[in-house]
Amino acid sequence: MLTVLRSAWVWFAVSLLIILWLPLLGLIRLFDRNPVRFITGRWFRNLGVAMTKVNPLWQLHVTGFTVPREHTPFVVVSNHQSLADIPLISHIPWEMKWIGKKELFTIPVVGWMMTLAGDISVDRRDARSGARTIIRAAQYLEQRCPVMFFPEGTRSPDGRVGRFSDGAFHLAIRTQTPILPIAVEGSSNALPKHSWRFGTPSDIHVHVLDPVPTEGLTQAQLPELRDRVRGAIIHEIARRRGVADDQVDALAMTRAVGVT
């Protein structure tokens, strides 16, 4: 019962924040003349920060690499454990445009704010939409704005890291932009998949790993780059759990079965 009441209170507070944030973000967007909408986007991420602060169960630690200067272009990739990852990663103190599935942009209020912030919609059922997404993301990178991907495409059902799609790595090689990996650990229980209830108190780590250069790489080297970045994220999560890497790798069992 305590979990239900506590979860209901947090959702009420989060809903109130979202409703109040829409007119504020609309006003900021009205005066934000920059084509990249750096200010509007950053204020939208601040909503994620505020949403985290109203939840007393989340103890967040943001560590690792610090961007040397404002507006440094990176292709940012992160594992995806929970819906909570979005407000949690928003604590990273620089603006980046998020790649999100089309359905998110149709959600009232939240979807409108994503559009105001300049985030990028992709329709997974339309191959041409994926190509348009890459073009728009490349334009942001040209204007020195990072873009953010969840290359697993969906939340992990068990906290292990799933297969990475190629889109982010294709973009990074095409634009010769460094990849910035992020390892999120501890958020699986923060807001379990397919549940509206918040879990037990969670000690959550968002760790920014060192950039991975792509200068001189070709598309033929994409699989090696993808696996290197995925392996670095897996290794960081495994280190924090005190387990072997293959216990965090959702594909390890598949490979083992294939060998036998």
Summarize the confidence of residues 47-55 as an average pLDDT.
Answer: 92
Indicate the number of domains in the chain: 1
Using left for φ > 0, alpha for ψ between -120 and 50, and beta otherwise, residue 249 falls in beta
pLDDT the model gives residue 226: 98
Distance between CA atoms of 135 and 186, rounded to whole angstroms? 34
Provide the CATH number for the domain around residue 227: 3.40.1130
Count the neighbouring beta carbons within 10 Å of the beta carbon of residue 64.
Answer: 16
User: Which among 154, 156, 40 has a CA at the least distance from the CA of 101?
Assistant: 154
* Percentage of residues in the chain having pLDDT higher than 90: 75
Domain that holds residue 60: 2-259
Beta carbons within 8 Å of 7's beta carbon, 6+ residues apart: 196, 197, 198
In which band, very low, low, confident or very high, does the pLDDT at 10 lie, cut at 50, 70 and 90?
confident
Summarize the confidence of residues 20-26 as an average pLDDT.
Answer: 97
In which band, very low, low, confident or very high, does the pLDDT at 110 lie, cut at 50, 70 and 90?
very high
Taking only Cα atoms into account, the Rg of the chain, rounded to an integer number of angstroms, comes to 18
Q: At what angle are helices 110-117 and 2-31 packed, to 10 degrees?
A: 40
Summarize the confidence of residues 204-220 as an average pLDDT.
Answer: 97
10 Å CB burial of residue 146 (0-12, 13-18, 19+) is: buried
pLDDT the model gives residue 201: 67
- Is residue 7 predicted with pLDDT exceeding 90? no
Summarize the confidence of residues 99-106 as an average pLDDT.
Answer: 92
| Three-state DSSP string of the chain | CHHHHHHHHHHHHHHHHHHHHHHHHHHHHHHCCCCCCHHHHHHHHHHHHHHHHCCCCEEEEEEECCCCCCCCCCEEEECCCCCCHHHHHCCCCCCCEEEEEHHHHCCCCHHHHHHHHCCEEECCCCHHHHHHHHHHHHHHHHCCCCEEECCCCCCCCCCCECCCCCHHHHHHHHHCCCEEEEEEECCCCCCCCCCCCCCCCEEEEEEECCCECCCCCCHHHHHHHHHHHHHHHHHHHHHHHCCCHHHCECCHHHHHHHHC
Distance between CA atoms of 168 and 179, rounded to whole angstroms? 9
- Is residue 90 predicted with pLDDT exceeding 70? yes
Beta carbons within 8 Å of 196's beta carbon, 6+ residues apart: 7, 11
Q: Which residue has the higher pLDDT, 111 or 195?
A: 111
In which band, very low, low, confident or very high, does the pLDDT at 165 lie, cut at 50, 70 and 90?
very high
* Percentage of residues in the chain having pLDDT higher than 70: 95
- Is residue 216 predicted with pLDDT exceeding 70? yes
- Is residue 15 predicted with pLDDT exceeding 50? yes
Segment among 45-54, 118-127, 157-166 with least mean pLDDT:
118-127
In which band, very low, low, confident or very high, does the pLDDT at 260 lie, cut at 50, 70 and 90?
very low
pLDDT the model gives residue 128: 84
- Is residue 257 predicted with pLDDT exceeding 70? no
Segment among 8-17, 39-48, 93-102, 198-207 with least mean pLDDT:
198-207
